[in-house]
Amino acid sequence: MIRQYLTYPAAHYNQQADMFMQKWEPFCPVLVIKQLLADIQDLMNALYDPEGQSTLDYSTTLIVLMILNIQESFPTSPAQPSGQSPNCIERLSLAHALIDKVVSQGNIRSLQALALFALFNQLSGRCLILTTINGMMVRLSQSLGLHRHARRFKMGVGEIELRKRLWWWVYVFDRFTSVLHGIPPLVNDVDVDNDLPIDCHLHDLGATELSHPLPGERTGVFVFLQYVSLGKKLSRILNLLYTTTQRRDGARKITELDRDLRVWNQNLKAHGIFFDIGDSDLQHLAGYTGRPYQSATLWLQLISNMTMNLIHRPGLSFDDTSPEFGICLRACLNSGTAVLSLVESLQIPRWLRNLSLVGPATIFQSSLIHIYSHLKFGMSKPDGLPSPDASMSVILKAISLLTADVQSSVINQAQENFYCQSLNEIIETLQSLIPSLPMVAQGFLETEPVINEDDPTTDTFDEQAWGGNTLDALNYMTASDWMGNGSSPFMDFMDLGGS
């Protein structure tokens, strides 16, 4: 069965593997090229063994299938067509069938295969399966001792470096899965004593010394190290602000986390990566055209803005007369606006948005915070808050992006109807809230909401279509009353500012 999916000579798959390593190392540096090419050759020899006595390595099979799917479905160049072909879908079906066999092997190669399988699903936006894959990877990596320091094992420098890269990729994937689904992470920080990877070239597991870049240069692993750094900061954010037991002294925690993230951002500039968190001015990106790792740099910028949003969002539960509330509101507004500006102006591909947690929910929340700020303060504009024109531009930008997502999903048939229906409901929600904005209701600002007549409509806001009082009984009818009540706390969250 596997043979029908791998019909080309080994040289073709070697070329695909080499291209994958060059393009995707900043995002997932879990492979070593020399060993990978040797494994591919062994796989092809086993597949085409005339005697049929060779044993297939299912982990190598899954690695090759995922390399082919990622290369075909997610080109790094915007000029290349993207999308999943019938061959890609068939390979994915085979990959699902191989998962149990791969996990049962329980070695480093099987963890590499699971990492590439997880990467493909993450790039594709298949969110629901990520928790299952995350559990498999965390369990396997801990059983292999990857979370422990190298001094506990007798290994060469190449194998030690690979184990560190694998562990920290799994660690950050665990954190991002936690943020995406709102569930506790599986890895406990107190159980981890492994060092961070080194910015170096790793071509051979048997190498006796590592190959470091020349002064002033960096490898793709440098970007991955920044990703790991953000993952560790996310871990602190989740522990300090998003648990059910450690909610006191929120203002101090937010200030410390904010300062820590800005120091990280400032240190990047010494390495030629120039952007400011919360800055929606895109002039600094003019020099990025044609630079290596451009997508990876944008990836860091999107994730850092998302991280800043997570730091300050709990602060919206503070007393709205306190200085801390205004600081947190401005930070959320700036970070959300920066994310929307990057996505719209640079036409960031869907796979990069999925990798950066910039899904429809993020786009919706980034525009909703503008609606909230103007409903909260009316026509009075506190210092640092955007003007009505600027906020309206952001809201319409979000509607435009969501509408484009609906059209793209319909054209590519990449999602089920439920996905498109959910997007349409989000769009309708934003459109229904625009007339309630003070600058629109009082005639100071005119706008024509973006409406796509070709999109299917839903019954979400049609009272006659509800056909019962079930939603009312669940108190759903009053879920957004806070938006019209300027004196109420933000979404009834507990005040984190108490001591």
Q: Is the pLDDT of residue 449 over 50?
A: no
Nearby residues of 353 by Cβ (< 8 Å), 6 or more positions away: 302, 343, 359
More confident residue, 61 or 409: 61
Q: What is the pLDDT of residue 183?
A: 93
Among 36-40, 370-374, 389-393, 438-442, the range of highest mean pLDDT: 36-40
Pick from 374, 368, 418: nearest CA to 398 = 368
Please report, rounded to a whole number, the percentage of residues in the chain having pLDDT higher than 70. 81
pLDDT at 440 (0 to 100): 64
| Residue at 368: amino acid letter | L
pLDDT tens across 109-154, in order? 999 999 999 999 999 999 889 999 999 999 999 999 999 998 888 8
Q: Give 252 or 470, the one with higher predicted confidence.
A: 252
State the pLDDT at residue 329. 95
Q: 4-8, 424-428, 486-490: which range is least confident on average?
A: 486-490
Q: Please say if the pLDDT value at position 485 is more than 90.
A: no
Quote the pLDDT of residue 467: 38
**Rounded mean pLDDT of 468-496?**
37
With cut-offs at 50, 70 and 90, classify the pLDDT of residue 75: confident
Residue among 123, 119, 101 at smallest CA distance from 110: 101
Percentage of residues in the chain with pLDDT exceeding 90?
63
Q: If you write DSSP's letter for every residue of 372-420 in order, what string do you get?
A: HHHHHHTT---TTSPPHHHHHHHHHHHHHHHHHHHHHHHHHT-S-HHHH
Which residues are within 8 A (CB) of 223 and not within 5 positions of it... i.e. 6 or more apart? Answer: 26, 293, 296, 297, 299, 300
**Cβ atoms of 484 and 434 closer than 8 Å:** no
Average pLDDT of every residue of the chain: 84
- Per-residue model confidence (pLDDT) at position 51: 82
The model's pLDDT over 22-43, given as tens digits with 9 standing for 90+, comes to 999 999 999 999 999 999 999 9
Least confident of 134-148, 157-171, 401-415, 478-492: 478-492
How many whole angstroms separate alpha carbon 56 and alpha carbon 346?
Answer: 44
pLDDT of res. 76: 58
Does the pLDDT of residue 347 top 70, yes or no? Answer: yes
Q: Does position 472 have pLDDT exceeding 80, yes or no? A: no
* Residue-level length of the chain: 499
pLDDT tens-digit series, residues 388-412: 888 999 999 999 999 998 887 765 5
- Report the chain's C-alpha Rg in angstroms: 24
